[in-house]
Structure 1
Amino acid sequence: MVVMNIGLAVLAALWISNYYRLAAVSGSSMEPALSQGDIVVVRMGTLPQRGDVVVIDSKVLHKRIIKRVIAVEGDTVFVSDGEIWVNGEVLVEEYIKEPYEHENGDWVVPPESVYVLGDNRNHSRDSRMVGFIPMQEVMGTVMYPENKFGGK
């Protein structure tokens, strides 16, 4: 009976690990939402929406990073005078740590890609440096702790 219970526990853990994983935050790029050493629960294989915090297996940076999705495929992004506009609407960013100077520009997010930024913009390596993130590099969406600044 004990062996069967252990076997069932192992099977349940394997099943759950297909859908959820734990990740540790490394660095300060997501402050104030997430800080160095925070542990997050990641729902694997989810389709990210604007405002979601995601874990990315970056091929460019050769490491896993955690960033906020600012725009998804087909979105038009326009940056001017320190403001980000997505699809013609100014992005209200109560989650960023401090104001920073944006570089002006405009672009459309390509198919099966997202545009991500760290909440601590002055200390983040993100889409401004590495470009659009292919969806196959997005591992999943952070489910816990809940996004205290709201999504979308």
Structure 2
Amino acid sequence: MNWDLATILVLLVIASGLIWLYDVVYLVPRRVKLKTNLSIHATEAERQEANRIPFIVDLARSLFPVFLIVLVLRSFLVEPFRIPSGSMMPTLLVGDFILVNKFSYGIRLPVLNLKVINIGEPKRGDVVVFRYPEDPAIPFIKRVIGLPGDQLEYHYANKMLYINGEPIVQQSEGRYVGVGQGSSMTGSEQRLEHLPGAEHAILVNLDQQISGIRRWEIPNNHYFVLGDNRDNSKDSRVWGFVPEENLIGKAFFIWMNWDFQNTGISWHRIGTTIR
């Protein structure tokens, strides 16, 4: 069991719910009995004792609905994440705070990650958050490039993709100028990549001279993902495919950007839709 926030929330819901249940089943009847047996000459201290609700019970009754609502929202609707690296530049910058749609690819039970309702599957071009296959406790974010059954080629010399034998067109958009912690990417070439049914911006480093061609065939229930910052991303080219059960959801919205080390809040990025 991974001791992540979902696990902690589940335990808090169970603990507070059990305390509340104990109060309903045992303590409430006891308080009612004490109040019923009070004489008309009872002291104020005796009356207070008859009505006293233990602090832990009062706390549990107050927090149980909060824990439950947060768990439901986070597990089945949306979950927030912060972008810690530049591997998805220029689409996502260091310090972006994003929202992830948790039901895009099916409803899963928290902690167990067991899919109970199948709603949809990732599409080519989706920006997805998933559990890193080599350490499922770590969430990763990349773009879906290859779907089950696809045959992929990546040509390192010209940074070109081929999907099922077809070259993926890339259109140069000139020199990229980075800001904040992404300023190290200034000088990279920004390209518009035309995936089938989707297009998005990528960065490539023309000074990085690497030759060679890699080929993959995507197995069933697995996905091939790449970072948009193609020469600065640890992705499926390095560690392989993403199993379907590792998917967390689809990233769809930037609700805040705060580059702690450099630029502060980037107001213009707030409210941006992720494509």
Smaller-chain TM-score bracket? 0.7 to 0.9
Q: CA separation of 1:139/1:117 partners in 2, compared to 1, >3 Å: closer, same or farther?
A: same
Cα-to-partner distance string for 1:39-59 (whole Å, 9 max, x where unaligned): 111112522111011112113
Show the counterpart of 2:250. Answer: 141
* Distance in structure 2 (CA, Å) of the matches to 1:11 and 1:91: 46
Does the CA contact (< 8 Å) of 1:51 and 1:68 recur in 2? yes
Show the counterpart of 2:24. Answer: none
CA RMSD of aligned residues (A): 2.5
Which of 7, 21, 27 is the aligned partner of 2:79? Answer: 21
Show the counterpart of 1:66. Answer: 141
Moved >6 Å (runs of 4+):
6-9
> What secondary structure does 2:92 align onto?
coil
Q: Tell me: higher relative CO, structure 1 or 2? Use CA pairs within 8 A at least 6 residues apart.
A: 1
Does the CA contact (< 8 Å) of 1:77 and 1:85 recur in 2? yes
Identity %: 31
Normalising by structure 2, report the TM-score.
0.47
Pairwise CA distance, 1:30? 0.4
Unaligned runs of 5+ in 1: 1-5
Show the counterpart of 1:86. Answer: 163
Q: Which has the larger radius of gyration?
A: 2
* Distance in structure 1 (CA, Å) of the matches to 2:212 and 2:135: 21
Show the counterpart of 1:3. Answer: none
Pairwise CA distance, 1:12? 4.3
Unaligned runs of 5+ in 2: 1-62, 106-120, 170-192, 194-199, 255-272
**Does residue 114 in structure 1 map to residue 114 in structure 2?**
no
Higher share in strand? 1
Q: CA separation of 1:102/1:35 partners in 2, compared to 1, >3 Å: closer, same or farther?
A: farther
